[in-house]
Amino acid sequence: MKRQGNIKISSENMMPIIKKWLYSDKDIFLREIVANGIDAITKLKKLIAMGEAQDDGKEFCVKISVDSKAKTLTVEDNGLGMTEEEVENYITSIAFSGASDFLEKYEKAGGDGIIGHFGLGFYSAYMVSENVEIFTKSYKDSPAVHWASDGNSTYEIEECDKQDRGTRIVMHIAKEEKEFLNENNIRDLIKKYCSFMPYNVYLSYKGDGKDAPLNSTTPLYVKAPKDCKDEEYKKFYTDTFMDYTDPIFWIHLNMDYPFKLKGILYFPKVRNKLELERGKVKLYCNQVFIADNIKEVIPEFLMLLNGVIDCPDIPLNVSRSFLQNDSQVRKISKHITKKVADKLISLFKNDRKKFEECWEDLANFVKFGCIKDNDFYDKVKDVIIYKDINGEYKSISELLGADAPAEEGETKTETTDKKAEPKTIYYVSDEVQQAQYVRMFKNANLNAILCDNFIDPHFLSFLEYKTPDKVKFMRIDSDINGELKGENAEEDAVLCDIFKNALNNDKITIKTQNLKDESLPAVITTDEYMRRYSEMGRMYGMSDGELNYTLILNTSNSCIANIKNLDEEKQTFAAKYVHMLALSLFKKLTPEELQQFTEYNLKLLNGYLG
């Protein structure tokens, strides 16, 4: 006998809220309905294991079908089903969750993985449906039940002739939501939200033995790491992220205490060292997809990775889409960060060669992580390496040597009680542009590191801030290292005056120096910190980029030595040409500077060809 009733909610205004605002994305409804079916199967299998229900031998699965003519989308499971009383309790009373009773009754039997405690999943169907029907038959000896409602706070319930155990949800899709009657769209949603659900999910099930599920019930991350092969990790990566470039390595997370956590984080190859490419870390709860890149669980810098994390202990609110502010979440986040740091440290210590081979792909990620997360920096600071101008990789401690001053916070001995001067490490930001400076360093048996990624200026400043008494960084063209100089020589005031008069630019300081390298007539240097300040200002549109610099004339170069012997016109030309030559070795010339330099070269060529 058909009965009518009111859905037990506190206000008639609740249903529109549920229909429109319960979830951040309306297509999540399919995840919720399928997850409820999976939950029903999980409960039934638990009951079977406890001897309280019978197994009929059929495959446990969820079947989805689309009928575009009838404008219906159907999701059917063969789980434990519901009695009429249970339909009243679990469907018509929104504030009451069926899973809570189940958990309380059977918690002593052990096990976990009950999805239903999220609640309200069924009502997500109304975000895309104008009417929803339920056909359900319990594993208990009771009549099958049909329930229907158009979502306007009323429903109808009656017995029906459903023969098989389980629940069938029939959603009559609203006119404005016809995209959910497209089978390809539904297929995409199943792959997005149901890829790893623990029982097979079929679309348009025919039952002829040719059907293939759209999900993997045992994704690689649920297996023990010792049972997984490298090729399996690579295939899982390709299948999950559609990236056909092999990752450089991965971290398999697998723990049960103090919280349950499984997953795999992949370090992808860097496609462009001039930017940080955002990855995708997929968050699951009991193999049910929650969202991508949830910042409360995944620290910002780890979102540069690709990965899958499944954590049943993550506390979610009613829509499964947002994390509650919970101390457990912070512990999980810290643990994931620690595991990543441990992997880097282990690789550095146990396979330095591979670590160095991977470093170009790791560098930006590690540096960004250090800047963003102080705990991460403290763990990995000793394994950060730099390629030097000789092609070798060295850490900061290796670059500084054993006599490096103690870091702030370290125990100081009598020899370190006196504040030590930070040691200078030279760096190259552009190997091509700064090639002549690099050559001078190599000829003098000096070293410098390559810092040519976009993040390096920020990271070097960060390191100076973290270790103010230990190290400072100077670009290779920021000054003339003492070992590049020849014998002391007095300032050649006459030569300086020739250049000052010729260039007539108060932003240029003229000096002379006897350099060991006789090949270069002049080099340009600029104060390291003034240059950094200028670059930062230019980045934020606060500076025109003009910078004071010093033109150092190399008195050991024969051309420079002969300039004083020329007439005034040739002195002026030579001074301007030498300046432009030095400028071309210091920076990329502007179009105007390049035009002027070309004119100087043509004048020289014409004079030579005479």
Q: Which domains does the chain carry?
A: 3-203 (3.30.565.10), 220-362 (3.30.230.80), 384-409+420-476 (3.40.50.11260), 486-609 (1.20.120.790)
Residue 64 pairs in a beta bridge with 75, 203
Alpha carbon 567 to its chain centroid, in Å, reads: 63
pLDDT of residue 112: 43
pLDDT of residue 5: 67
Give dist(CA 173, CA 100) in Å, integer.
Answer: 30
pLDDT of residue 170: 97
pLDDT of residue 20: 56
Q: How far, CA to CA in Å, does 588 sit from each of 389, 451, 527?
A: 21, 18, 18
Q: Helix axis angle, 591-609 relative to 568-586, nearest 10°?
A: 130
Residue 131 C-beta-side C-alpha neighbours within 13 Å: 10
- The sign of the CA dihedral 480, 486, 489, 492 is negative
How many other C-beta atoms lie within 10 A of the C-beta of residue 77?
Answer: 27
Per run of 10 residues, the mean pLDDT along the chain (length 610 residues) is 63 52 75 92 93 92 95 96 88 53 49 41 87 94 92 85 95 94 95 94 83 93 94 95 90 86 90 68 88 79 88 65 64 88 94 93 91 94 95 91 46 50 91 92 93 91 91 92 80 93 93 91 92 79 74 93 92 94 91 92 82
Give dist(CA 492, CA 97) in Å, integer.
Answer: 90
pLDDT of residue 6: 66
- Does the pTM of the predicted model rise above 0.95? no
pLDDT of residue 302: 85
pLDDT of residue 490: 76
pLDDT of residue 299: 83
pLDDT of residue 279: 82
pLDDT of residue 317: 54
In the three-class reduction of DSSP (H, G, I as helix; E, B as strand; rest coil), residue 315 is classed as: coil
User: What residues have CB less than 8 Å from 277, skipping those under 6 apart?
Assistant: 268, 270, 271, 304
Q: How far, CA to CA in Å, does 585 sit from each of 103, 149, 476, 574?
A: 73, 78, 12, 17
Here the tokens at position 87 are 């339909």
Nearest CA to 370 out of 483, 442, 465 is that of 465
